[in-house]
Amino acid sequence: MQILNVELGDRSYPIYIGSGISSDKKLLSSSIRGARVAVVTNETVAPLYLKKLKDQLSDFEIIEIILPDGEQYKNLEYLNKIFDSLIEKHCNRDVTLIALGGGVIGDMTGFAAASYQRGVDFIQIPTTLLSQVDSSVGGKTGVNHALGKNMIGAFYQPKAVFIDIDTLDTLPDKELSAGLAEVIKYGLIADAEFFAWLEKNIDRLIARDKSALEQAIFTSCKAKADVVAKDERESGIRALLNLGHTFGHAIETGMGYGTWLHGEAVAAGMVMAADLSRRKGWLDESDLGRIRDLISRAHLPVGGPDSLDVDQYIRLMSVDKKVKQGKIRFVLLEKIGVALVTDDVTEEQLHQTLSACRGG
């Protein structure tokens, strides 16, 4: 087992990474301070891991909250079902919520924890690669709105994150690839050596080699933990973690939540960001080719859907959280391993990128 810490003063918390760690009853119990636990999961994950988790929590009173599986259920209606269960069971501020699932479950459980009685403890047990390397770390919680992704939420940190690599054994191939998009992102924004490592080891990751997965997860989580420690509320460098997300969120919203997986949309968005960076004269053609090649080898799309036109993209991006003073802000690449945030993009450059990066 490897342990990282997200350093946030009195709100610091550990990230445990390894095989079988969710079976460590003592370790899990040490992060729970009350007598009651509400486990929030979904209909896909529950048959796989809920009983096993309940066995580790036999010393606690357990409330099960099982939601439908899918991004289309990440909304206020289904968030309210978590509140319904907590109130019906007369839960007070001593309850601990546990998110057992992927990014949707983690985001919704965290937002419920931030809101219920103005704040209760919660723990992340992410079961997808994407949630393990991204959404479970850093305290971004929330739900989607019909007009924009993650537009309603809060910054609220968990008490601990337990990343059990064994849960990836049951993850569909498509979901594994979606998680690799976020792994690739860390190499692109801050670590050229890690990007080169991914180029050499992407086939091992696709094949679910445990040692390769553990190294990729640890490196990704460390990168995110370091950024969050410096900029918890995204007032500065944390915005770099949004590489590909401005384009990706437009794809998810425009196509309907759940049509494209989040990681698929981010992958296409990263290629768009790289293409736009080349048009600004930063990336050269060979680096753009390396990025497209690695994303393709991870079995991810290298362009957006044909059904979204340029005007739709711009309309959807204009309601993104990263818009400031009416201008869309992009995370772009000066080179592989060096990212920056800018709104200095011409209409022509943006139109050229959106037109060129289609048919993913």
Catalytic residue among 26, 51, 90, 118: 118
The question of whether 245 is a catalytic residue gets the answer yes
Catalytic residue among 74, 149, 159, 238: 238
Give the rounded distance of the alpha carbon of 268 from its chain centre: 15
Cα–Cα distance between 228 and 60 in angstroms, integer?
Answer: 32
The question of whether 224 is a catalytic residue gets the answer yes
The question of whether 299 is a catalytic residue gets the answer no
In 10 A of CB 39, how many CB atoms?
26
DSSP string, 41-97: EETTTIIIIIHHHHHHTTTSEEEEEEE--SGGG-SHHHHHHHHHHHHHTT--TT-EE
Element (H, E) at 143: strand 140-145
Question: 38, 95 in Cβ contact below 8 A?
Answer: yes
The question of whether 262 is a catalytic residue gets the answer yes
Catalytic residue among 74, 159, 262, 329: 262
The question of whether 92 is a catalytic residue gets the answer no
Catalytic residue among 185, 242, 264, 278: 242
Locate 125 and state its tokens: 């047990």
Locate 350 and state its tokens: 């943006």
The question of whether 145 is a catalytic residue gets the answer no
Within the chain, residue ranges assigned H as helices are: 25-29, 51-56, 76-88, 103-115, 129-130, 173-190, 192-206, 210-230, 245-255, 262-279, 285-297, 310-317, 347-356
The question of whether 90 is a catalytic residue gets the answer no
Catalytic residue among 175, 182, 232, 252: 182
The question of whether 234 is a catalytic residue gets the answer yes
The question of whether 42 is a catalytic residue gets the answer no
The question of whether 182 is a catalytic residue gets the answer yes
Backbone angles phi, psi at 163, to 5 degrees: -105, 100
Catalytic residue among 149, 185, 245, 278: 245
Catalytic residue among 74, 249, 290, 329: 249
Cα–Cα distance between 181 and 184 in angstroms, integer?
Answer: 5
Residue positions annotated with a catalytic role: 118, 140, 182, 224, 234, 238, 242, 245, 249, 262
